[in-house]
A and B are shown apart, each in its own frame.
Chain A
Amino acid sequence: MTQTLDVSERVTQPNRSSHATGATAATTAGKFGTFAITFGIAFALLYTVFEQLNWPLFTYHPAVGKVDFWMQRPRSGEGPPMYWYGWLALSFTGAFVLGWIATVVSSQWLYRATIFCCALAALWLAAYTGAIFIADRVSFDAEFLKSVWLSAIPALVGAAVVAYLLPSPQRLWTSLVLIMPIGCLVILGYSLKSYFMR
């Protein structure tokens, strides 16, 4: 008998009773699992937001070995600034804090809040992209549609509806640890298109 079979035998069967009674994150995932999954989801989301908005915790100027708090534009004679470390530092810190909070809140609240945040991010981007598309094509003046905050209204409503109506949030919550990094990489990759279209 191979070791592969041994591993297969050690795979636990789905806990049907826990599904029937509405399992909590703590009972099914444990504290580390809850932290790890939330950390993965939050990191992907925060990193993408900070990169897109260019919000680093600090800016490093490697040519002169200088570190500035928050975002600093390139200065004459100081070489190129590096923001990546700053995005990482802020994202890791934020994801760590959110991961820790996830271990102390109730599981149902955690699932719904996570799905709400992820849906909000996706719908906000979709609404904003759609608004710009419409504003550029209609015959009348629709510049007001290009407001980021206007796009937030349908995104908030949509995210609230999704988070409230979703029948089994736990399964989606677990899958988000994979869906969010891939989705965020699509956005980050698209934002680099100028390098590939020169």
Chain B
Amino acid sequence: MDFIFDYISVRMFWRILLFIHFVLAVVLLVAVTLQSVAVLMPVRQAAGNFIQRVRAAPPTWYVPLIVILYVPTFLLGAWVYVKYRTYVRIPMEQLGHWWTVGSFEFKEHIVAMGMGVLPAYWYFWRQPLSGDNAAVRKWLTIFLAVSVWYAFLVGHVANDFRGVGS
């Protein structure tokens, strides 16, 4: 790993990792949001404006993308978390930003739960879709969307405290 630091600084290395984590998170956020819209407000007719076309898209489209994106976003976040623990959280505590610290602690838990239900989410969306599991499938999708949105917003707040562009 150290050979990388011959070309870029340690600070730049972590900023690049954080930026890649951010980009993956944005794409994941778009995918879970579009799937949630398609699941919660499905329409039969694709005609109309952009929103109606999104609602008419088959929710199964997004499943491989979400599964493929969730895992590296989680792993990259877990890697960057090392820097958060030593470089960000300590000054946060010293300055008394307890809400941010507590919210980030909860982020750890919610993304971990998301990883835990990911195999089941994948299973429930496999073709042919089972009518028996429609409710669980729908709410698992919403659960994942909530976890991704929460993680994104809290991560953004932490980044604003001490991260890329702060």
* Residues of A participating in the B interface, judged by any CB pair closer than 8 Å: 2-7, 10-15, 28-29, 32-33, 35-37, 39-40, 43-44, 47, 51, 60, 62-63, 79-80, 82, 84-85, 87-88, 91, 95, 174-175, 177-178, 181-182, 184-185, 188-189, 192, 194-196, 198
Contacts and interface: CB of A to CB of B under 8 A. Distances in A.
Interface string B16-53: 00000000000000000000001000111110000000
5 contacts: A3-B46, A11-B128, A40-B116, A79-B86, A175-B136
Contact of A36 (B56, B120, B143): B120
Contact of B113 (A2, A10, A184): A184
A196 B102 contact: yes
B102 A192 contact: yes
A80 B88 CA distance: 12
> Would you call the interface of chain B mostly helix, strand, loop, or mixed?
helix
A-side interface mostly: helix
B156 to A, nearest CB: 18
A80 B122 CA distance: 36
Interface residues of B, number: 50
Contacts of B58: 3-4, 6-7
B81 A11 contact: no
Given A88-B112, A192-B106, A32 B57 contact: no
Given A10-B128, A36-B123, A5 B44 contact: yes
B134 A11 contact: yes
Contact of B140 (A47, A80, A85, A177): A177
5 shortest A-B CB distances, which residue pairs?
Answer: A195-B102, A43-B116, A36-B119, A40-B120, A36-B123
A185 B131 contact: no
B99 interface: yes
B109 A37 contact: no
A44 B116 contact: yes
Interface in B37-81: 38, 42-46, 56-60, 78, 81
A7 B59 contact: yes
A11 to B, nearest CB: 5
Nearest to A18: B132
A64 to B, nearest CB: 10
B164 to A, nearest CB: 20
B130 interface: yes
Contacts of B160: none
Most buried by B among A47, A85, A181, A196: A181
Contacts of B57: 3-4
A90 to B, nearest CB: 12
Given A2-B46, A82-B82, A184-B113, A195 B120 contact: no
A12 B129 contact: yes
B78 A174 contact: no
